[in-house]
Amino acid sequence: MSNVRTPLYKVGHIKKHFPVLGGVLRRTKGYVKALDGVDLEVFRGETISIIGESGCGKTTLGRILALLDKPTDGELSFDFGQGLHDVTALRGEEQMQFRKKVQMIFQDPYTSFNPRQRVGAAMDEVLRVHGVKDEAERSARILEACEMVNIRPEYLQRYPHEFSGGQRQRLAIARCLATKPELIIADEIVSALDVSIQAQIVNLLLKIQKETGLSFIFVTHDVAVARYVGHRVAVMYLGNVVEILPADSLPEAAEHPYTIALLSAVPSMNPKAKDDRVALEGEVPSPIDMPSGCAFSTRCPSVMDICRTERPVLKISNISKGDHQVACHLNKGAK
């Protein structure tokens, strides 16, 4: 894949800082830097998996990308068809245009539908709000979406509580598909499901992508699923993207020490994997007292002096070149 294409969605140095209020006068004591300068590009027709452990900011990133939250700093640009257009300041009708193209599916299947609304009516309402005035067209779109996710049309009369977790996620996917988006942000959508149901949903997503050419941002903490689902994988740690690489090249091509440690921590059927395990000491530092320099410097087994003072930036990998970027001082590549 050549890098000369224009991305569908460009994330430019996004920061999200939450003020920490303290004391009697509720002054700002400090900031929780949930996102501290995230750069990312999502292309048409691709799935990019975002992985990371708790506190890395992946969920915050997903919400900002869906415009559910405003970034503290940085740019978001989306290609509506005539090149990239800034979307952070969109309001009203223009924002609605964005919302038609970018959809989100949430982690908890049990609360993502209004419990008092029949699921078919819920989907119909979304289409009406998006301006699909003709009732016949709305029905057609909904039926088409349901067919793609394997939900029988007669079930549309039911209430959310009558469905299982896996079915509800499929309904959530159908609800998004009916609006004919270009990008779907899936935030940990399989984490709350049994593994055999996860497999159903994963297969479904792959099938949808093959048939519609949609782009997906797949946020997860499960590294193996991220690799399986995505074309590329972006690894996050403490509010930064530390590595982006093609999914197929995992796990061998991983370069960033955190990525390597993360991959090696995944339990494996391979008996040798345990011996190669990189044991990470300690815990993730608090995002309030961020270490200066590289966020991973406090736990990195390959830490150098420069790591503690200077924050590394994402640069193309010197080893694998191509579509592989690392934010690490060990990578002496050119931008």
| Binding status of residue 158 toward another protein by CB under 8 A | yes
| Cα–Cα dist 65/77, whole Å | 10
* Touching another protein, residues 6-25 (CB under 8 A): none
Q: Is 211 in the site for another protein (CB under 8 A)?
A: no
H helices of the chain, where?
58-65, 92-101, 119-129, 135-149, 165-177, 195-212, 223-229, 257-265, 271-275, 305-309
Nearest to 303 by CA among 293, 317, 313: 293
Q: Does 223 bind another protein (CB under 8 A)?
A: yes
- Can you tell me which of 84, 247, 260, 303 binds another protein, judged by CB under 8 A? 247
Provide the residue type at 254 as one letter. Answer: A
Q: Which is nearer to another protein, 9 or 39 (CB)?
A: 9
Q: Minimum distance between the CB of residue 191 and another protein, rounded to whole angstroms?
A: 10
Residue 196's region, left for phi above 0, alpha for psi from -120 to 50, else beta, is alpha
25-84 residues in contact with another protein (CB under 8 A) are: 53-54, 63, 66-68
The answer to the question of residue 267 lying near another protein (CB under 8 A) is yes
User: Can residue 323 be called a binding residue for another protein (CB under 8 A)?
Assistant: no
| CB contact at 8 A, 71 and 35 | yes
Residue 280 or 319: which CB sits closer to another protein? 280
Torsion sign across C-alpha atoms 106, 109, 115, 120: positive
CB 292 within 8 A of CB 300: no
Of 228, 249, 318, 333, which lies in the binding site for another protein, with binding defined by CB under 8 A?
Answer: 228
Candidates 226, 148, 213; CA nearest to 184 is 213
- Pair 308, 292: CB distance under 8 Å: yes
Q: Among 84, 143, 224, 319, indicate the residue that binds another protein (CB under 8 A).
A: 224
Report 88-127 residues binding another protein (CB under 8 A): 95-96, 99-100, 103-104, 106-108, 111-118, 126
> Contact with another protein (CB under 8 A): which of 32, 84, 143, 199?
199
Instruction: Please give the C-alpha separations between residue 148 and each of 57, 126, 174, 177, 235, in angstroms, as whole numbers.
Output: 32, 18, 8, 9, 30
- Least distance from C-beta 276 to another protein, angstroms? 12
Residue number, 51 or 316, with CB nearest to another protein: 51
Tokens of 72: 């503290």
Binding of another protein by 195 (CB under 8 A): yes
CB 51, min distance to another protein, A: 10
Which part of the chain contacts another protein (CB under 8 A), choosing from 35-43, 134-142, 212-220, 245-253? 245-253
How many chain residues bind another protein (CB under 8 A)?
Answer: 75
Q: Is 302 in the site for another protein (CB under 8 A)?
A: no
